[in-house]
């Protein structure tokens, strides 16, 4: 069963299509990665799927609900963590979560129960009463994801969840996301510029470039099409051609990278 069905989703800004007739399905319970260079249209796609931005044309079904026709139903079954900081630094972790619980309309008994559960699950119980401006970047991201999970959404949208995190904080975030998915079967759609992260977390990925899908498959299959030892970074360069300016074909690029990594 598909948790997300995207059908020719399109968004213009002026005369330019930021997202152009995008179509894909995300199986329920899977982790799906939206990848691509800056400006590819990833955040615009997520904003349409979360009903924050109306599509110019096309639509999507989230848990069977149409984003154009039943946006309030969609909002009830999704969680969203935006690319920008969303937690309030002047409040404690507990207060941030309680505020979100109220916004989601949880009844007062459930509010404190869910806030305690989420704090525990995200490894933040011991810091619950500290102001968020004292939290590390990793703790803030875990808190923000926790805020989006309070109402037990079927589908969770994460726009660059690990941006700015150090490797340890990033790995800790990945394990929290994986544990959450295993425990609750939540479908997760995320964007990231970290190809290791996409490789580790995602069952399937899409590479977007200038609003179009240029590749869609499992990370393993995509790497295999480029040959032995190819990484998802290589796949990124191959399909979007953006991050390496030296020119040359894939083999040249791979060789350059191997040489660089030997010098490290
Ligand atoms: N509000 C807006 N008004 C006009 N153009 C916009 C607006 N938001 C995004 N765009 C343009 O739409 C295109 C897609 O932007 P989007 O933010 O979706 O990309 P992205 O893939 O999320 O990039 P990044 O990796 O940098 O976050 C870009 O060319 C961007 O400049
Ligand atoms: Mg973005």
Is residue 131 located within the same domain as residue 237?
no
Is residue 224 located within the same domain as residue 248?
yes
Ligand 1 site, residue 82, Cβ cutoff 6 A: no
Q: Residue 156 is inside which H or E element, if any?
A: strand 155-159
DSSP-assigned letters across all residues of 25-93: EEETT-EEEEE-STTSSHHHHHHHHTTSS--SEEEEEETTEETTT-HHHHHHHEEEE-SS--S-TTSBH
| Residue finishing a domain among 217, 232, 247 | 217
Residue 238: which pLDDT band, with cuts at 50, 70 and 90? very high
| Residue 170, token pair as written in the block | 């990033």
Is residue 110 located within the same domain as residue 95?
yes
112-148: pLDDT as tens digits: 999 999 999 899 999 999 999 999 988 999 999 999 9
Is residue 87 located within the same domain as residue 105?
yes
89-112: pLDDT as tens digits: 999 999 999 999 998 889 998 999
> What's the rounded Cα separation, in Å, for the pair 57 and 12?
9
Q: What is the CA radius of gyration of the chain?
A: 19
The predicted pLDDT at position 243 comes to: 58
162-195: pLDDT as tens digits: 887 888 888 888 898 888 888 889 999 999 999 9
Mean pLDDT, rounded, of the chain: 89
Ligand 1 site, residue 64, Cβ cutoff 6 A: no
Q: How remote is the CA of residue 46 from the centroid of ligand 2, in Å?
A: 9
Ligand 1 site, residue 17, Cβ cutoff 6 A: no
Ligand 1 site, residue 18, Cβ cutoff 6 A: yes
Q: How remote is the CA of residue 48 from the centroid of ligand 1, in Å?
A: 12
Checking if the pLDDT of 261 tops 90, the result is no
Is residue 155 located within the same domain as residue 227?
no
What is the tally of structural domains in the chain?
A: 2
| Bridge partners (DSSP) listed for residue 207 | 35, 215
Is residue 48 located within the same domain as residue 86?
yes
Checking if the pLDDT of 19 tops 60, the result is yes
| Residue 134, token pair as written in the block | 């004292």
The answer, as to whether pTM is greater than 0.75, is yes
DSSP-assigned letters across all residues of 190-208: EE-S-HHHHHHH-SEEEEE
Domain that holds residue 235: 219-264
> What's the rounded Cα separation, in Å, for the pair 162 and 190?
10
| Residue 159, token pair as written in the block | 């726009």
Is residue 205 located within the same domain as residue 223?
no
Is residue 167 located within the same domain as residue 206?
yes
| Residue 157, token pair as written in the block | 């949208």
């Amino acid at each position: 069963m598909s948790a997300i069905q995207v059908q020719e989703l399109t968004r213009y800004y002026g005369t330019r299509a930021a997202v152009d007739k995008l179509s894909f399905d995300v199986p329920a319970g899977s982790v799906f990665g939206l990848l691509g260079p800056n400006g590819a249209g990833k955040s615009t796609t997520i904003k349409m799927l979360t009903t924050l931005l109306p599509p110019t044309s096309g639509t999507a079904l989230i848990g069977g609900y149409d984003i154009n026709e039943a946006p309030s139903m969609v909002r009830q079954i999704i969680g969203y963590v935006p690319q920008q900081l969303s937690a309030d630094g002047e409040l404690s972790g507990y207060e941030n979560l309680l505020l979100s619980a109220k916004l989601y309309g949880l009844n007062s008994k459930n509010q404190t129960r869910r806030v305690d559960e989420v704090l525990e699950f995200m490894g933040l119980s011991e810091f619950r009463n500290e102001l968020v401006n004292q939290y590390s970047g990793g703790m803030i991201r875990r808190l923000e994801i926790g805020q989006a999970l309070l109402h037990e959404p079927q589908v969770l949208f994460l726009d660059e969840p690990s941006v700015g995190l150090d490797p340890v904080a990033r790995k800790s975030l990945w394990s929290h996301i994986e544990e959450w998915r295993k425990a609750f079967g939540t479908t997760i759609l995320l964007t990231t510029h970290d190809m290791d992260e996409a490789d580790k977390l995602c069952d399937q990925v899409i590479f977007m470039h200038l609003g179009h899908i240029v590749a869609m498959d499992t990370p393993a299959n995509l790497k295999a099409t480029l040959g032995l030892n190819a990484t998802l970074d290589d796949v990124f360069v191959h399909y979007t051609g953006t991050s390496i300016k030296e020119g040359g074909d894939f083999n040249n690029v791979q060789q350059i990278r191997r040489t660089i990594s030997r010098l490290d």
